[in-house]
């Protein structure tokens, strides 16, 4: 049975569906569709995206996987109160409850102890192949039930520890063979990616976890004609870095060191307090300065959990640079952002843009979506302005932009 009889719906399958980003996505989507909020923070609401033929927001329908019990409405209350928006969750209770009814227990195979410790609902599986089949069945059932012609699977779950690469990752056939055994070959983020791409759905990795960044999964996407993009949403300190670093390049000023320190208090932060999970994150954040400024720059980035901050994420960066005649100068900044409010509109943007790309026949890695990511797949460009200019060109002509 198809809900509501909608024929052109776009399904959004959220991995980590009761997390703070998902709650904000679902409530925020309801506010936008209901005309209660203006689309501030959505890239697709500005020119020229606003004039493009992207799926309208009212076509999106949400479901997802989650390993924690509880109600999405409760998570939305907690996160939106923490964002300074009390009362908002309850205004969109029916949308949150409807989505909650479409959430299924997720998998934790290979997620590491910090994530395993969170799990209260999980699907058992005797092999990675079985886990993938279970995930895929859930997604297909969601598509059927909602009449979604296309599904975009978005990973917004907690950051995994970096997995040890397995030799079979290099080749899809080898991977398929390995996944039939009892050993854990892929971490959860990659299991979801496999299931999505194998079903011909699109996959977006909004986290630094490995997701579809595995050669065999890239092969799978090509074979199935599925699109994917990632990784790690660029929402705060790294966003500022990717703009500000250009100042030094254009003015030929010599950056000596760039030190960044992040403090945050939500569950993302609590998970990152685990050293293995933190290492994955820091690797993703620390990429771009060397790329933009050159390898000589002494760069460090730290991230620490400060519970009292809740949803607020604060970053302090100290940039030490050399000018004319060797003079030493500095630039410091302090970013104070509300994490879920920065991430949620980008998730909506990505769903719309990926669905648009798939609809016009694109498959494989969508490198043009680089501006959304700290560690973009399919492009070496790390500078926000250049990334954004390239995305605008791609919007008009996917061939011309390459």
Rounded to whole angstroms, how far apart are CA atoms 377 and 205? 10
Residue 244 is a binding residue for its own copies (CB under 8 A): yes
Q: Provide the angle, in degrees to the nearest 10, between the axes of the packed helices 384-396 and 237-250.
A: 100
Contact between 82 and its own copies by CB under 8 A: the answer reads no
Any bridge partners for residue 10, and if so which?
60, 150
- Write out the binding residues for its own copies, residues 3-42 only, by CB under 8 A: 24, 28, 31, 37, 39-42
**Contact 297/338 with Cβ under 8 angstroms?**
no
Q: How far apart are CA 231 and CA 213, in angstroms?
A: 8
Can you tell me the distance from the alpha carbon of 351 to that of 345, in angstroms, rounded to the nearest whole number?
10
Contact flag: residue 332 with its own copies (CB under 8 A): yes
Minimum CB distance to its own copies, residue 89 (Å): 11
Q: Which of 14, 96, 239, 271 binds its own copies (CB under 8 A)?
A: 239
Q: How far is the CB of 69 from its own copies (least distance, A)?
A: 26
Nearer of residues 198 and 339 to its own copies, judged by Cβ: 339
Site string for its own copies, 83-112 (x = CB under 8 A): xxxxxx------------------------
Q: Enumerate residues 150-189 that contact its own copies by CB under 8 A.
A: none
Question: How many of the chain's residues bind its own copies (CB under 8 A)?
Answer: 72
Quote the CA–CA distance of 394 and 129 in Å, as a whole number: 36
Q: Which of residues 333-372 bind its own copies (CB under 8 A)?
A: 333-338, 341-342, 344-345, 371
Residue 133 or 309: the one with the smaller Cβ distance to its own copies is 309
| From 6-14, 43-51, 95-103, 374-382, span contacting its own copies (CB under 8 A) | 43-51
Nearest approach, Cβ of 213 to its own copies (angstroms)?
A: 24
What whole-number distance in Å separates Cα of residue 272 and Cα of residue 274?
5
**What is the nearest approach in angstroms of its own copies to the Cβ of residue 349?**
9
Choosing from 257, 276, 282, 362, the residue that interacts with its own copies (CB under 8 A) is 257
Site for its own copies in 267-326 (CB under 8 A): 298, 300, 302, 304, 306-309, 314, 316, 318, 320, 322-326
| Interface with its own copies, residue 328, by CB under 8 A | yes
Strands 364-365 and 60-66: unpaired
* Residue 246 binds its own copies, judged by CB under 8 A: yes
């Amino acid at each position: 049975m198809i809900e509501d009889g909608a024929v052109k719906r776009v399904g959004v399958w959220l991995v980590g569906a009761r997390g703070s980003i998902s709650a904000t996505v679902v409530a925020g989507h309801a506010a936008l569709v209901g005309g209660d909020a203006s689309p501030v923070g959505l890239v697709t609401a500005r020119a020229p995206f606003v004039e493009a033929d992207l799926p309208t927001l009212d076509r999106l329908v949400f479901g997802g996987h989650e390993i924690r019990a509880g109600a999405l409405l409760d998570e939305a209350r907690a996160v939106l109160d923490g964002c300074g928006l009390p009362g908002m969750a309850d205004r969109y209770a029916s949308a949150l409850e409807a989505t909650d009814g479409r959430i299924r227990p997720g998998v934790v195979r290979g997620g590491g102890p910090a994530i395993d410790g969170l799990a209260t609902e999980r699907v058992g599986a005797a092999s990675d192949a079985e886990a993938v089949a279970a995930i895929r069945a859930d997604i297909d059932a969601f598509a059927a039930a909602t009449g979604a012609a296309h599904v975009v699977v978005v990973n917004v779950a907690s950051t995994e520890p970096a997995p040890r690469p397995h030799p079979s990752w290099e080749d899809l056939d080898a991977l398929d063979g390995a996944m039939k055994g009892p050993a854990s070959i892929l971490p959860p983020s990659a299991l979801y990616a496999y299931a999505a791409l194998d079903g011909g759905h699109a996959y977006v990795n909004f986290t630094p976890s490995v997701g579809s960044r595995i050669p065999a999964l890239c092969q799978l996407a090509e074979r199935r004609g599925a699109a994917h993009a990632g990784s790690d949403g660029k929402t705060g300190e790294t966003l500022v870095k990717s703009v500000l670093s250009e100042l030094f390049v254009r003015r030929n000023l010599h950056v000596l060191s760039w030190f960044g320190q992040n403090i945050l208090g939500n569950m993302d932060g609590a998970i990152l307090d685990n050293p293995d999970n933190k290492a994955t994150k820091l690797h993703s954040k620390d990429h771009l300065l060397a790329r933009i400024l050159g390898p000589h720059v002494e760069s460090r980035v730290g991230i620490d959990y400060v519970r009292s901050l809740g949803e607020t994420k604060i970053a302090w960066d100290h940039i030490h640079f050399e000018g004319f005649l060797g003079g030493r100068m500095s630039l410091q900044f302090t970013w104070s952002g509300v994490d879920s409010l920065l991430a949620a509109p980008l998730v909506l943007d990505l769903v719309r843009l990926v669905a648009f790309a798939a609809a016009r026949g694109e498959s494989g890695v969508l490198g043009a979506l680089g501006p959304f990511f700290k560690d973009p797949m399919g492009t070496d460009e790390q500078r926000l302005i250049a990334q954004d200019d390239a995305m605008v060109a791609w919007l008009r002509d996917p061939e011309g932009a390459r």
